[in-house]
C-alpha cells in the first residue's frame, strides 16, 4: 500500500476535461503542463523520492491506446526533478477490465495480482522510496495494487502522485 498521496485537483469538470483530452483525444501536448502542476502539488513527495515509476498499462491496452498517459505525466515530472524515470520497473501482467462503474471492492478485486516487478528490473527500485504516478485516483485501488507489487519487489516505500482525485469514490 502507498504511504502518502497527493493530487493537483479534484476530478471536477475542468480536471475531467484535461484528463479525457490527454487520455482519449490524443492531446499529448497537455502532459507537460499537467506534469508541472503535479510537480508543484507533490513537491514534498518528489523531494523524498529516489525514482519515478508510472502505473503501467497492460500491453493490449497500450497497443490500442498507443501511449501510457501515466508515463507521459511521469517522464517530464522525473526530468524536472532530476530523478530516474523507471517505466519498466513495474509491469501490468494481467489484463483487467475498465474500473469505470466498479465499486471500491470491485476495483480492488479487479486489480488483484495485476502488477509485478520483473526480476530483471528489481534493482531499479530495491531499497528505494518510489514515487508512483497515475492520472486519476478514484478509490486508491490501482495505487494500492501497484504499490503492493513494488513493495513485494523490494521498494522501501511508495508514495502516489496523481493529477486528479475523485471526490466521492464510493462508486
d(CA 28, CA 140): 25
Residue 147 above 90 pLDDT? Answer: yes
Quote the pLDDT of residue 59: 75
pLDDT at 144: 93
> What was the pLDDT predicted at 53?
98
- The sign one gets for the Cα dihedral 30, 104, 94, 98 is negative
**Taking the domains of the chain in order of start, what are their residue ranges?**
5-165
More confident residue, 61 or 77: 77
Distance CA(71)–CA(35), nearest Å, equals 10
Pairing state between β 129-137 and 157-165: parallel
- Classify domain 5-165 by CATH architecture: 3-Layer(aba) Sandwich (3.40)
Contact between 134 and 55 (Cβ < 8 Å): yes
Task: Give the pLDDT band of residue 139 (cuts 50, 70, 90).
Answer: confident
Rounded to whole angstroms, the Cα distance separating 139 from 107 reads 8
Tens digit of each residue's pLDDT (9 = 90 or more) over 47-76:
999 999 999 987 776 577 777 889 999 999
Look at residue 99 in the predicted model and tell me its pLDDT.
Answer: 65
Task: Please provide the average confidence, as pLDDT, over all residues in the chain.
Answer: 89
With beta carbons less than 8 A apart as the criterion, state whether 130 and 13 touch.
no
Amino acid at each position: 500500500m502507498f504511504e502518502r498521496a497527493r493530487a493537483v485537483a479534484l476530478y471536477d469538470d475542468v480536471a475531467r476535461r484535461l484528463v479525457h483530452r490527454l487520455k482519449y483525444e490524443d492531446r499529448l501536448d497537455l502532459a507537460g503542463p499537467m506534469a508541472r502542476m503535479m510537480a508543484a502539488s507533490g513537491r514534498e513527495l518528489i523531494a523524498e523520492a529516489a525514482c519515478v515509476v508510472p502505473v503501467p498499462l497492460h500491453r493490449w491496452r497500450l497497443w490500442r491506446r498507443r501511449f501510457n498517459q501515466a508515463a507521459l505525466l511521469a517522464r517530464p515530472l522525473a526530468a524536472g526533478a532530476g530523478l530516474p524515470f523507471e517505466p519498466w520497473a513495474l509491469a501490468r501482467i494481467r489484463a483487467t477490465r475498465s474500473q469505470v462503474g466498479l465499486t471500491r471492492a470491485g476495483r480492488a478485486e479487479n486489480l488483484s495480482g495485476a502488477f509485478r516487478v520483473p526480476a530483471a528490473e528489481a534493482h531499479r527500485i530495491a531499497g528505494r522510496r518510489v514515487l508512483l504516478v497515475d492520472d486519476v485516483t478514484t478509490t486508491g485501488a490501482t495505487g494500492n495494487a501497484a504499490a503492493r507489487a513494488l513493495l513485494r519487489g523490494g521498494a522501501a516505500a511508495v508514495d502516489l502522485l496523481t493529477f486528479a482525485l475523485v471526490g466521492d469514490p464510493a462508486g
